[in-house]
A and B are shown apart, each in its own frame.
Chain A
Amino acid sequence: MFRSACYTAATFLLVVLAGIMGALLIGGWPAFQKFGFSFFYSSVWDPSNDIYGAAGPIVGTLITAFLSLLMALPLAIGVAVFLVEFCPRILAQPIATVVDLLAGVPSIVYGMWGFFVFAPWFAAHVQLPISQSFDPESFWGKFFAGVPNGANVFTASVILAIMILPYMASIFRELFLSVPAAVREAAYGLGCTTFDVVKSVMIPFVQRGMVGGTMLGFGRALGETMAVTYVIGNAHGFPKSLFDSGATIASTIANEFGEATGLHQSALIAMGLVLFLMTFAVLALARALLNSQKI
């Protein structure tokens, strides 16, 4: 009796996952049927004529997640190494706890801070000077083009990076701590500098786990909604420059699903399915790598 109750609850989790996918498949089916493959490569998003292509938000999602990873990864490794190797012992535990706690701050708080504090500052003190210092027709001029209101792909990536940084740093720290002390000490005993130990002993030891942790951060950045929605500018179509406004799948759903009907609604759900499959693949790979590291 009790055993089968437990078993039912466990299999219920499988049902939930299948149920989420099923719902997105049912809801998104009309859009897939209508637009076929062009749904994935067309960037036309025109609710007034009922034509939808998801390429813009898909690319926006990938770009912001990738850029945020690019910024957060070196910092997260730096923080983790600092906590394990350089930090005075009395401070290491409190700082690590704070980092862990920061990883749990609701994403809407990051989004708000980005919207009210970071984006205006960035527009006035970074974006404007940069775009003025280049000829608008030159390559760099085009690369940095955009409306100077601070709501663009780059700002969204920065906010995402700040959000996933504590999360990744916390995973990396645990990985580094799992390296046996004897191995590290042996390397130091051979005359290695801290850099040598980290580069040639610690990182190779936890390589797979680090790739897994990085992908976990990537997966979070892909599916994040509230930290992105306020600061990305919400424009469909491909972002044309680093400081151009864009959209991600999650931000588009959050902005439009409430008012959408018919095919528009279906297109949003279809986009949700794309996001689901992307994050599922990334997270599954991340978990497989992390589990093989056994921390």
Chain B
Amino acid sequence: MSRSLQRRVANFIFTVGCWLATGIAVFFLALLFWTLFGKGFAGLSLDIFTKDATSTGDAGGLLNGILGSLIMCFLGMVFALMIGILAGTWLSEYSEGSKIGEAVRFLNDVLLSAPSILVGLAVSIYVYLVVNAMHAPQFTFSGLAGAAALGLLATPIVVRTTEDMLNLQPSALREAGVALGASRGLVVRQIIWRAAKTGLLTGGLLGFARISGETAPLLFTALGNPEHFHTLSDLIHPMSALPLLINTFVTQPGENAVAFAWTGALLVSLAVLSVNVIGRYLARGARQ
């Protein structure tokens, strides 16, 4: 076989391989979505949003899970945004050339993909220690602990996005502020943050999308609760979440439980996907 023919054959095989790889990937992922949408929409009804789930999933809805997820994600994001924006600001504005800056940036990147179950495990260990020291074992599991675990998972994403978005702001903006006599801190808060506010929002949305589907960190922190959130004091009691309900129902016998699990999975996926889409759309605008 001549050299040129050999190369053309190799190229042909490679081309077919790439098409095939994409075909296989699309096939599996399409199959997954087909099942998710088919089974998920079939179980959708008003009851899903108005009734609590029963422990076996034979009747009722998913209200306790939906409320619990929203509350814990919201609290987690409040925490993540406070810490994350400040930390990201420090990395972008103040850390120039410092060793600690390098270390924080690096470890933040590692935390970005740390196993979520370990974050939940660590939070639950600390809660356990505190609760034992206070002789109050009834508070071992709580919505607050779940929110803390979720918040810790979202923080690295907010840090990363904040730093990226602040770095995009032109240094002329900072110089102009300082030339007018404003302090560095004032410039950052009044000018840079304002100019980058869409970018900062993006970080929040991406963080939210990441944590709203997390199951593993809630297993030993929020635990789950057949009742939905009523009053503020419910925060220190076990709390349900959509992924936790899915996890319970998957292993339950009975058609209804499985149907509820699929509907729950659909709701979680739609939430994650739509928040991700909005976040990406805003990020594109912020980058231009």
Q: Do A and B share a complex?
A: yes
- What 0/1 readout, one digit per residue, does chain A (259-293) give for beta carbons within 8 Å of chain B? 00000000001001001100110011001100100
Contact among B29, B104, B189, B261 for A2, CB-based, below 8 A: B189
**Assembly CA distance A125 to B258 (angstroms):** 23
Chain B residues lying within 8 Å of A85, measured Cβ to Cβ, are 18
A66 beta carbon closer than 8 Å to chain B: no
* Given A10-B90, A108-B243, A253-B117, residue A162 in contact with residue B273 (CB < 8 A): no
Which residue on chain B has the smallest CB distance to residue A276? B118
- Pick from A38-46, A178-186, A221-229, A237-245 the stretch touching chain B: A221-229
Q: Is the CB of A194 within 8 A of B125?
A: no
Q: Is the CB of A165 within 8 A of B25?
A: yes
**Assembly CA distance A10 to B85 (angstroms):** 9
**Nearest Cβ distance between residue B134 and chain A, in whole angstroms?**
18
B114 beta carbon closer than 8 Å to chain A: yes
**Nearest Cβ distance between residue B25 and chain A, in whole angstroms?**
5
Contact among A81, A86, A104, A109 for B265, CB-based, below 8 A: A109
Contact among B31, B84, B223 for A117, CB-based, below 8 A: B31
**Assembly CA distance A144 to B215 (angstroms):** 32
**Assembly CA distance A101 to B210 (angstroms):** 11
- What 0/1 readout, one digit per residue, does chain B (204-231) give for beta carbons within 8 Å of chain A? 0000011011111001100100000000
B167 beta carbon closer than 8 Å to chain A: no
Interface residues of B in 184-219 (CB under 8 A from A): 184-185, 188-189, 209-210, 212-216, 219
Contact among B95, B121, B280 for A100, CB-based, below 8 A: B280
Q: Is the CB of A193 within 8 A of B11?
A: yes
Q: Main secondary structure on chain B at its contact with chain A?
A: helix
Q: Is the CB of B87 within 8 A of A13?
A: yes
A219 beta carbon closer than 8 Å to chain B: yes
Task: Indicate the member of A100, A112, A250 with the most B CB atoms within 10 Å.
Answer: A112
Q: Is the CB of A23 within 8 A of B104?
A: no
Chain B residues lying within 8 Å of A74, measured Cβ to Cβ, are 21
* Given A116-B258, A269-B121, residue A254 in contact with residue B216 (CB < 8 A): yes
Contact among B8, B22, B121 for A253, CB-based, below 8 A: B121
Which residue on chain A has the smallest CB distance to residue B83? A9
- What 0/1 readout, one digit per residue, does chain B (104-116) give for beta carbons within 8 Å of chain A? 1011111101111
- Pick from A14-22, A47-55, A135-143 the stretch touching chain B: A14-22
* Given A24-B121, A193-B10, A196-B11, residue A106 in contact with residue B100 (CB < 8 A): no
Q: Is the CB of A78 within 8 A of B94?
A: no
Interface residues of B in 84-137 (CB under 8 A from A): 84, 86-87, 89-91, 93-95, 100-101, 103-104, 106-111, 113-119, 121-122, 125-126
A188 beta carbon closer than 8 Å to chain B: no
**Assembly CA distance A146 to B245 (angstroms):** 31
B24 beta carbon closer than 8 Å to chain A: yes
Q: Is the CB of A284 within 8 A of B90?
A: no
**Assembly CA distance A77 to B8 (angstroms):** 20
Q: Is the CB of B104 within 8 A of A10?
A: yes
**Assembly CA distance A194 to B100 (angstroms):** 44
Q: Is the CB of A9 within 8 A of B86?
A: yes
Q: Is the CB of B32 within 8 A of A109?
A: yes
- What 0/1 readout, one digit per residue, does chain B (56-79) give for beta carbons within 8 Å of chain A? 000000000000000000000000
Which residue on chain B has the smallest CB distance to residue A7? B90
**Assembly CA distance A86 to B23 (angstroms):** 13
Q: Is the CB of A226 within 8 A of B31?
A: no
Chain B residues lying within 8 Å of A287, measured Cβ to Cβ, are 106, 109-110
Chain A residues lying within 8 Å of B212, measured Cβ to Cβ, are 106
Chain B residues lying within 8 Å of A20, measured Cβ to Cβ, are 114, 118-119, 122
**Nearest Cβ distance between residue A176 and chain B, in whole angstroms?**
12
Q: Is the CB of A109 within 8 A of B220?
A: no
A195 beta carbon closer than 8 Å to chain B: yes
Q: Is the CB of A13 within 8 A of B107?
A: yes
* Given A13-B111, A17-B107, residue A75 in contact with residue B21 (CB < 8 A): yes
Q: Is the CB of B32 within 8 A of A250?
A: no
**Assembly CA distance A78 to B276 (angstroms):** 25
Chain A residues lying within 8 Å of B104, measured Cβ to Cβ, are 10-11, 13-14
Q: Is the CB of B258 within 8 A of A195?
A: no
**Nearest Cβ distance between residue A262 and chain B, in whole angstroms?**
13
**Nearest Cβ distance between residue A107 and chain B, in whole angstroms?**
8
Interface residues of A in 107-156 (CB under 8 A from B): 107-113, 115-117
* Given A195-B14, A250-B216, residue A79 in contact with residue B116 (CB < 8 A): no
Chain A residues lying within 8 Å of B21, measured Cβ to Cβ, are 74-79, 82
Given A116-B250, A194-B11, A280-B110; 20 other pairs, CB 8 A cutoff:
A6-B89, A9-B90, A13-B104, A19-B126, A77-B21, A78-B17, A81-B18, A104-B276, A106-B243, A107-B213, A108-B268, A109-B213, A112-B246, A194-B15, A198-B14, A257-B219, A272-B117, A276-B114, A276-B118, A279-B113
**Interchain Cβ contacts under 8 Å between A and B, 14 examples:** A6-B89, A9-B83, A13-B156, A20-B118, A75-B21, A101-B277, A169-B25, A195-B14, A225-B116, A275-B115, A279-B113, A287-B109, A287-B110, A291-B106
